[in-house]
Chain A
Amino acid sequence: MLSVHEVTGGYAGAPVVKNISFEVEKGELFGILGPNGSGKTTILKMLSGILPHKSGDILIKGRNLSQYTPKELAKIIAVLPQHSSQAFSYTVKETVSLGRYAHQKGWFQSWSSEDEEAVNRVMEQTGISHFHDYDIQQLSGGERQRVFLAQALAQEPEVLLLDEPTNHLDLSYQKELLDLLSVWSKDCGLTVISIFHDLNLAGLYCDRLLLLENGEVNINHVPNEVLKEGRIREVYRTKIEKLPHPRVPAPQMVLLPERPKAESRFLNRINPANLEAREDLLVIRSPFPLKTMSSGVTGSGTGWNRIFLNRHVSKNYDCSDHRAEMAEFIREIGFEPGETVGMMTAVYVEDHSSKFYEEENFSVYVAVTAGIGNAVDASKSEAHSYHLSPGTINTWIFVNGNLTEEAFIQCIMTATEAKTKALFDQKVKDAVTGTIATGTSTDSILIAATQQGESLEYAGTITPLGKVIGTGVYECTVEAIKNSQRRIKK
Chain B
Amino acid sequence: MQKQYIRTYLNNKILAYITAAAFLLCAMLMGISIGTVSVHPMTIIKVISAEIFPFISLENTDAMHSNIIMNIRLPRVLLAGLVGASLAIAGAAFQGLLRNPLADPYTIGVSSGASLGAVLTLFLGLSIPFAGMFTLPLFSILFSFLTIFAVLLFARNIERSMKVETIILTGIIFSSFLGALISLMIALTGEELRQIIGWLLGSVSMRGWAYIKIITPFFVIGTILLLMNSKELNAMSFGEEKAQHIGVDVQKRKMMVLIAGSILTGAAVAVSGTIGFVGLVIPHLTRLLWGPDHRHLLPLSILMGAGFLIMADLVSRTIIAPTELPIGVITAIIGAPAFAIILMKRKNKI
Contact = CB atoms under 8 A, between A and B. Distances in A.
Q: Do A and B bind each other?
A: yes
Interface of A: 48-50, 69-75, 77-79, 81, 84-91, 94-95, 98-99, 101-102, 104, 107, 109, 111-113, 116-117, 151-152, 155
Contacts of A78: 245
Given A70-B249, A81-B241, A99-B246, 12 more contacts: A70-B250, A73-B247, A74-B246, A84-B242, A87-B101, A88-B101, A88-B237, A90-B291, A91-B291, A95-B238, A101-B246, A155-B247
Top 9 nearest A-B pairs (CB, nearest first) are A74-B247, A102-B247, A88-B292, A87-B99, A113-B2, A79-B245, A71-B247, A70-B249, A101-B246
A85 B6 contact: no
Contacts of B242: 81, 84-85
A87 B100 contact: yes
A155 B292 contact: no
A134 to B, nearest CB: 13
Q: How large is the interface on B (under 10, 10 to 19, 20 to 34, 35 or more residues)?
A: 20 to 34
B349 to A, nearest CB: 8
B247 A75 contact: yes
Interface string B111-155: 000000000000000000000000000000000000000000000
B231 A86 contact: no
Given A87-B100, A111-B2, A74 B245 contact: yes
B248 A101 contact: yes
Which of B1, B237, B247 has the most A CB atoms < 10 Å from its CB? B247
Contact of A50 (B6, B99, B241, B287): B241
B6 A111 contact: yes
A74 B235 CA distance: 13
Contacts of B43: none
B89 to A, nearest CB: 16
A50 B248 CA distance: 12
B5 interface: yes
Interface string B286-330: 010001110000000000000000000000000000000000000
A94 to B, nearest CB: 6
Contact of B237 (A48, A87, A101, A152): A87
25 contacts: A48-B245, A50-B244, A50-B245, A69-B249, A70-B244, A72-B247, A74-B245, A77-B245, A81-B241, A81-B242, A81-B245, A84-B238, A84-B242, A87-B237, A88-B237, A88-B287, A90-B237, A101-B231, A101-B246, A101-B247, A102-B247, A109-B231, A116-B2, A116-B5, A155-B247
A73 B243 CA distance: 12
Contact of A111 (B5, B237, B239, B244): B5
B99 A98 contact: no
Contacts of B100: 87
A69 B244 CA distance: 10
Nearest to B250: A70
Which of B231, B242, B293 has the most A CB atoms < 10 Å from its CB? B242
Given A84-B242, A88-B292, A94-B293, A70 B248 contact: yes
A155 B243 CA distance: 12
Contacts of A88: 96, 99, 101, 237, 287, 292
A85 B293 contact: no
Contacts of B101: 87-88
Contacts of A74: 245-247
Interface of B: 1-2, 5-6, 96, 99-101, 228, 231, 234-235, 237-239, 241-242, 244-250, 287, 291-293
Given A101-B235, A109-B231, A85 B99 contact: yes
B290 to A, nearest CB: 12
Contacts of B250: 70
B79 to A, nearest CB: 31
A101 B291 CA distance: 19
A84 B239 contact: yes
B219 to A, nearest CB: 21
Contact of A85 (B231, B239, B287): B239
Nearest to B3: A113
Nearest to A94: B293
Which of B101, B238, B293 has the most A CB atoms < 10 Å from its CB? B238
Contacts of B99: 85, 87-88
A113 B250 CA distance: 27
B2 A155 contact: no
Nearest to B230: A109
B102 to A, nearest CB: 10
B153 to A, nearest CB: 15
A324 B231 CA distance: 64
Given A50-B241, A78-B245, A87-B99, A98 B235 contact: yes
Nearest to B1: A113
Nearest to B293: A94
Contact of A90 (B239, B245, B293): B293
A112 B101 CA distance: 31
A116 B238 CA distance: 21
A380 to B, nearest CB: 72
Which of A50, A70, A89, A91 has the most B CB atoms < 10 Å from its CB? A70
Contacts of A50: 241, 244-245
Contacts of A91: 291
A87 B235 CA distance: 11
Nearest to A75: B247
B9 to A, nearest CB: 8
A102 B242 CA distance: 13
